[in-house]
Amino acid sequence: MTIIARENRRERYALPSLQKVPEHVAIIMDGNGRWARQRGLPRSAGHRQGTDNLRRIIRAAVEFGVRIMTIYAFSTENWSRPRREVLLLMRILEMVIDRELQELHEEGVQIRHIGELDGISGRLARKVLEACEYTRHNQRLILNVAFNYGGRDEIVHAVQNIVRDGIMAEDISEATINSYMYTSDLPDPDLIIRTSGEFRLSNFLIWQGAYSEIYTTETYWPDFGRTELYEALVEYGNRRRRFGKTDDQIEAALAFERQLQESI
């Protein structure tokens, strides 16, 4: 643990290249409050530290070759937090856009928003849309910011829109529903990371996460640095994803793929 903390501080510690990199990583950034309490600080300090950490994790994700990252910044359930904390989280998003947008743009990050803009202030909603528009041609990393997002809410909206579009029941397939989700043009997350030792999805990407690998760590979000992300990706590389198939079927598919590679 100490070594990891030290490495995280040094940041650019050389790490062996990864065998298999997930294309889409989703993160439940949990533990800001506990991180602060542990240090006798107000919760706001935890959120600020968590925001700083987000910057280094975006950079590390780009470095490791992750193509899509989805972060859970504010859930539909977070409205029930004390009003002061809700306002702080709104202010943080605004501040991130004001202060980081240009740098994220230069780093090739395409910002997208998933969730509902209804309910947040008009000014913040406009800033979010402007940030998405400004970065929309960037290709290095797609960063989905789940803000005022809930997985069940997303499914409710999808169903409402399907009904509005007059689609007949017998024409509705998984592909139809998928095409009404916020992430319709993106692959599902390969890996969902949750920090701070919790083992729940908490209404995050519940449709898209059906076959995602889940990685949890005791580390609170503000301490989850580059090395920790690397470790999560290494563990992902060691997992065998079966998508409902048997081990024998997977083995046969891998052998076939190897043969194919050798014959090229």
Please give the Cα distance from 95 to 54 (Å, whole number).
13
Among 4, 57, 68, 92, binds ligand FPP (CB under 6 A): 92
What are 214's strand-pairing partners?
Answer: 192
Among 69, 73, 114, 143, binds ligand FPP (CB under 6 A): 73
Contact between 58 and ligand FPP per CB under 6 A: no
Binding string, 25-54, against ligand FPP, x = CB under 6 A?
A: ----xxxxxx------------x--xx--x
Residue 151 or residue 162: which is nearer to ligand FPP going by CB? 151
- 30 catalytically annotated: yes
Please give the Cα distance from 66 to 21 (Å, whole number).
7
Residue 142 or residue 158: which is nearer to ligand FPP going by CB? 142
Please give the Cα distance from 189 to 192 (Å, whole number).
7
- Residue among 8, 32, 78, 118 flagged as catalytic: 78
- 247 catalytically annotated: no
Contact between 150 and ligand FPP per CB under 6 A: no
CB of 190 to ligand FPP, least distance (A): 22
Please give the Cα distance from 252 to 243 (Å, whole number).
14
Please give the Cα distance from 208 to 210 (Å, whole number).
6
Please give the Cα distance from 91 to 51 (Å, whole number).
12
Radius of gyration of the chain (CA): 20
Contact between 93 and ligand FPP per CB under 6 A: yes
Please give the distance of CA 95 from its chain centroid, rounded to a whole number.
19
Spatial contact of 251 and 78, defined as CB atoms under 8 Å apart: no
- Residue among 8, 30, 53, 190 flagged as catalytic: 30
- Catalytic residue IDs: 30, 78
Q: Which residues form the interface with ligand FPP (CB under 6 A)?
A: 29-34, 47, 50-51, 54, 73-74, 78, 89, 92-93, 96, 196, 221
